[in-house]
Structure 1
Amino acid sequence: MSAGFALSLEHVRHSYGDKVAVADVSLAVRAGEIVALLGPSGCGKSTLLRLAAGLERPDAGKVAVGGRIVAGEGAFVPPERRGLSLVFQDYALFPHLDIAANVAFGLKGRPRGEIGAIVADLLGRIGLADRARAYPHMLSGGEQQRVALARALAPNPAVLLMDEPFSNLDQRLREGMRTETVRLLRERGAAAVLVTHDPDDALAAADRMALMRAGRLVQVGTPEEVFRAPADRFAARLFGEVAEVPAVIAGGRAWSALGAFPTPRLADGPGIVCVRRDAVTLADGPEAIGARVLATRFLGERRQLRLQVDGLETPIEVAIDRRLNAEPGGRVSITVDRADAFVFPA
């Protein structure tokens, strides 16, 4: 797998004592590609990043950078000699160095003029050319994140590893920094691995996504593939709350209180229909289902409803257009968008 890839991990395993953090994971990243590792806290994604970086040794398997084995098969190359750069959640800027010196830190040994040109170019690209002599404590969180990104890109690494780089930013800054980070990575042609628990980060930034659970990869694909065709209930839940409705799979369809859904690849038996909250809308029609409104909540662009669907014991929560009217205690008719409903074995 390693040949032709910027980074590859093959059958990598790692444990902390009796706890298995990464279990037989294989993943490859192409040159110039951004891959997001998405999963809940404790699923092993940061450990996988540390194995790639050389901050941990794998118990088994191998890691290669640019086709060169850096861990496994009797080899272990230290982090500083792997041709990788890291961006941490807390940015890890040096408080006693100004911004220019922080960006230049990984360029030691190069001619002074070359260092100055690289630093000036990167500070210009991140919009901080006029803050070169400022210190980290004088910058906002978003500015510190940009400096950390510039420092990581300065040595022109083959692969950039990012561990929750946007988690300390508010929503507005987060969206801006995602866009800026992707732009810089594209300009530099660097491959990148982005560790995140936020599906919005992964959807907005990644060329491919790798979903992790309990130390294993659950699904790998483009953002649209993973979002539109989740491999299981866990994968479906990663992208937001879903209503999980009991069903009976028979004759290529799943029969439930929310209607019948095609299931050509599933064997007959009990099933679960997972419906995303915004897959339900208020509408009449031949496939409409009756429900009683238990509660409503205004959420800006959307209105959240808690519904008692006819024939379903447990209430479900859905999100509808805020302009649609539904009052607690009233009756409504609902329809489900089949593209945002997924059937899995129970």
Structure 2
Amino acid sequence: MITGGYPMEEPLQFSQEDIEHVRKKLLQKRREFIEKFAKDVLGVEIKIKRGEKKKIVEELMQEHQYEILNFFLIYLPEMGGKDISINRARHALATMFPDAVGEINDIQSKEEVLLFLYRHVGHEKLQDYLPWIRYEAYIEKNREKNRYLLEKPFLFRDNKELERLIDEFMKEWNSKNVHWARIDMRSTNDRAIKLIITMEYGRRPYQEFFVRRRMKIYGISETPRYSKDSNIIHTPLIPKNKEDLKEVSEWIYPLGHYILQIKPVDNEKTEIILGFDLNKKYPRDLLDRLLSVLFGEDTSVNDLKSIKPQPLEELKETVKQTIQHSKHMSDAIEQIDNKIKERKSEAVQKLQSLNLPDEAKEKLNEII
């Protein structure tokens, strides 16, 4: 006897042909899938013995017809179409559930994508997530065709490059064709920090859903989206529409050791703010390098919590000062290195001028 399950709702009008189609579809599934389906979707525990599959399916169809038909005829078609492959669906799930990457990697079908959602968010919230999967899959499919990529060194390299990048970004941001932008931080092998801005052109499906639902699901403490490359941290998409931008103006986008925040000032201007992510651990030398320039010599790490980020113009000036400060540090280190080389050269000359035995001279030459 099958027990448990969700309370019945007012059923939709499905045809007898629809019902027979779903019954046959469920009968074609393996016993393991039907057991998992019953647990995740219907909320019932069953164990199907050999030869009992048809009987159990008939019983499920009789007692849970509404939920089963919804799964196969309402929700599963949401996963259809050329845009959504299993890989893209897994990618979308990983952006929403970064702690369940192992479980997501085991998904082999679109039915299993739905089972995952039932298991993690339940039937009530399912419709909040399905459009996002379609959206992420669409973006992933069309990324190469519809993008504008800027990849320039971000900090401690060239101040003019940063200013040009920000100016280009704002120019593109205000153009009529750009509706979404994605900002990434990429760390390179030579310890440079590069900022990557990807502009998405043209309107995208589920734009209204994406903006209005996302804060309800996640709130401000957004988890960076999953990436197989651990050196890349992807931030959430930024909506272009001014009204939507106001709605999410307090979102904070973590970029490695910094926070980049996009904030509308008025209907004409958008502000870029740089700050610190206090939940991350910072390299000590990086903090020591920045604190004196950004906030004064006596500023401690704990003081950062009470400091407000700076607007765009101040940011540009700060970056100039920071790069100059870094250059002064580099010059000082270079002077010290040169001094050490001079002292070493003097010491070698003095040692070589001594009247040493041949064996000692050979050892000295090896050391030098």
Q: Same fold (TM over 0.5)?
A: no
Q: Which has the higher contact order (CA 8 A, sep 6+)?
A: 1
In the superposition, the TM-score normalised over structure 1's length comes to 0.26
Query: Structure 2-normalised TM-score?
Result: 0.25
Identify the structure with the greater helix proportion: 2
Rg larger in structure: 2
Structure with the largest fraction of strand: 1
